Amino acid sequence: MLIRAFFLIQFFIVMLFSGAGSQDWSSYTNSNNIRQILHKSGVVWGATSGGVINYSISTSEINKLTNTDGLGGIDYYCAEVDSAGVLWFGSMDGWLSKILSDGYIVNYPIEENEGGYFVRRFTIYDLHADDDILWIATDKGVSKFTIYIHGGEIKDTAKRLGDLEDEEDIKVVTVIGDYLWAGCDRGLAFTEKTNLNIQDPNSWRSFDQSDFSMGRASVKSIAAYYDTVVVGVDSGLFKLQTVPDTSWVEMGNFSNLRVREVLFYEGNLYVSTNAGVRVYDGLTWTSITNNGLTSGIGDITFDDADNLWAGTLGSGLAEFEDTLWVLHSIPGPASNFINRMAIDSTGALWMTHDARGLSEFDGDEWNIYNSLNSGLEDNGLHSIDVAGDSSIWTGSWGGGLYRYYEGQWYHWTAGNCPMFGVPANPNYWAAAAVEIDQSGVVWVSSIDADSGLVMGAFDPVDSIWHVYYESPITIQENTVGVILAQGNSLWIGTTQGLHKLNHNGTPFDEGDDSWLNNIIRDFIVDAGLDPFDNLWVGTPTGLYCVESPTNAVRQVELPLEISGSVQAVASDGVGNIWVGTVSGTGVLRPDKVTWKTTYTTDNSPLLNNEISDIEIDLATGMIYLGTSGGLSIFDSGVEQPSEDLSDVEAFPNPVLVPQGHSTVSFKRVPSDAVISIYTVFGDLVRSFSLSQTMEWDLRNSDGEPVAGGIYFFIVDYQGKSGTGKFAIIK
């Protein structure tokens, strides 16, 4: 079994932070959960749940780095600076990222190799630089990383430290004097830092829970207070006493507090806890006020002017000024986990988050709505849709239905409308699905509601409600998580199947309703319509197409690289189907058979492979991918077809072959139009239907590469035509 580190080099400009990522991708994450911070040359850096952030003290500017800027990972746990001023960051999924002073990023995947195959990446919890060595704490043990040999590589890994259990999650690593210390949830251990055989458990001296008077030894921090080793654990603060016997002695009164960080600075010991920061001057303990804080403090550090900084657990960076903390939050979504999304008439994207409220992104700025700053009475928002009047409708998991319109919030609960919740608590209304139909009627579900309540229809103009119940002739289940309107029909997805309701334009009168039940027998996770009125359905067992107008069901096989439960489906303007799974996303051509491409974190800047929702702006071709790691945006260039073909366009233009361009696509062109390409002399180069291929491969009808130059194209579709031109540079 071997542990190896390989490196990838990507470039970005430190001051501008622009230039490493693909021009087609952008990422937005919540970076306000800061795990570890450090100060270097007037800048405070932070390892966060949404990338790496830095704050310039002189300019008050906050910048964020994600994978589109060259980082290997997104969810970072730790930060360190070595003696050469090089920055190091460790991520949850095993990326060790190095940021050089001249702007280069070097990414090392820390992996375990067994039998010639990579088993998995390690979780990197902590880093400590000691001259030319970087000590790495992981979920496999402690690794010795040589900074300057072969560009950086792991030399040894200790998987068992003394009498601690094998392959403990090592959360803390540091060097104090001549000794290397490592802490975990069950205790801590030390060895000589010059030890040439750290793999030998007998070379480590360990301490477990029995050595701590409070009985809990989950180690969070290890520091030196002058010549004394001090350890912060879940149950308090302890120092190592060697006279008359080796033992751990409690310091201060931290018995009911969880110590998160211990820092020795300018003769004082600073301890951050779940109740704030305390300071020990050698004689007495004092507390630093929590004024200004809206969330707990994790890591702490000092800048060159002796100002105290903290990384908070949800509110960004905190700077202590005089008698209060000043927060510096980082723009982004309210949470990295995105439930559902919707686009309003201005092009702004709205998204819901479990327990974090609602986020709005207009392309430049973020607005966050929650129970503390808006008319929302709870933060467990789940479903969302936009009405024709641009009002935002969102369903809460337990809190009912909300509407946001022109700055005002409206709320429907079991107390002010006919809807209600579960048998044990009728006020617990889980509105898992919200849909606005073409006439403005709001359809909303109530999961597992009492008395077999399935869903309600609401006319917001006349304030009229109608509720639908389970019955043998309608629908026999009330676990509705998906509602999709199509004309006078509703597609209804439950945990057991897909159903279709035709209400014949009278949603408040069930007398003329007709139902088609169990079209698909599966857990319906998501559904979407393409431009040809076919319904696409995502389930744990895969992707299905319900073809129009027959309602015939066909399962579509997924590419192996994105196989798994289908979480999201959406169609772009020309009928490409975007499919999000637990393993990535793929694009299915309008022919319903051919997969155009797939995107995962291995071949793209996608933030996370677990796709929760996909929303497409048909007017711009922007693909919004909600993931469990934040928001990824892909500029597909595929826009809604032009009605008169007057504004068709080729892209990229120019086609720069030396820069890797190998195909030409066409904007605002129907998916089954015919494209004919000509030279400037009027010679036909190639003619093809977009139903066969969505791009031109820069080859003529004989399959030979074309020369550089200017080319014209003509689009023919149902008696209409459009023209355009583009250049090929070789």
DSSP 162-217: TTSPTT--EEEEEEETTEEEEEETTEEEEEETT-S-TT-GGG-EEEEGGGSTTS--
What phi and psi values does residue 237 have, to the nearest 5 degrees? -125, 130
- The rounded Cα 451 to chain-centroid distance in angstroms is 38
Question: How many residues are listed for the chain in this entry?
Answer: 730
Q: Which of 81, 61, 46 is nearest to 317 (CA)?
A: 46
Spell out the residues 6+ positions from residue 690 whose beta carbon is closer than 8 angstroms to its own. Answer: 574, 666, 669, 670, 671, 672, 673, 674, 675
What phi and psi values does residue 151 have, to the nearest 5 degrees? 75, 5
Q: Which of 15, 135, 23, 18 is nearest to 634 (CA)?
A: 23
The secondary element (H helix, E strand) that includes residue 383 is strand 381-386
Provide the 8-state DSSP code for 560: G
pLDDT of amino acid 244: 82
Q: Is residue 590 within 8 Å of residue 671, measured between CB atoms?
A: yes
Half-sphere exposure of 594 (CA within 13 A, CB side): 10
pLDDT of amino acid 115: 59
What pTM, to 2 d.p., does this model score? 0.86
Q: Which of 616, 47, 669, 20 is nearest to 342 (CA)?
A: 616
Q: Is residue 26 within 8 Å of residue 20, measured between CB atoms?
A: no
Q: Is residue 485 within 8 Å of residue 443, measured between CB atoms?
A: yes
Separation of alpha carbons 279 and 420, rounded Å: 52
What phi and psi values does residue 9 have, to the nearest 5 degrees? -110, 130
CA gyration radius for the chain? Answer: 29
Q: How far is CA 269 from CA 157, 611, 662, in A?
A: 32, 45, 61
| Each residue's pLDDT tens digit, 44-60 | 999 999 999 999 999 99
Dihedral of alpha carbons 596, 600, 606, 612, sign: positive
User: Pairing relation of β-strands 655-656 and 720-729?
Assistant: parallel
pLDDT of amino acid 8: 42
452 SS3 class: helix
Provide the 8-state DSSP code for 657: G
Q: Is residue 110 within 8 Å of residue 124, measured between CB atoms?
A: yes
Give every residue of the chain whose pLDDT is below 50, as ranges.
1-4, 6-22
Q: What share of the chain is helix, strand, coil (3-state, %, to 5)?
A: 5, 50, 45
The secondary element (H helix, E strand) that includes residue 396 is strand 392-398
719 SS3 class: coil
| Each residue's pLDDT tens digit, 2-34 | 444 544 433 332 322 223 334 589 999 999 999
561 SS3 class: helix
Residue with tokens 């509705």: 480
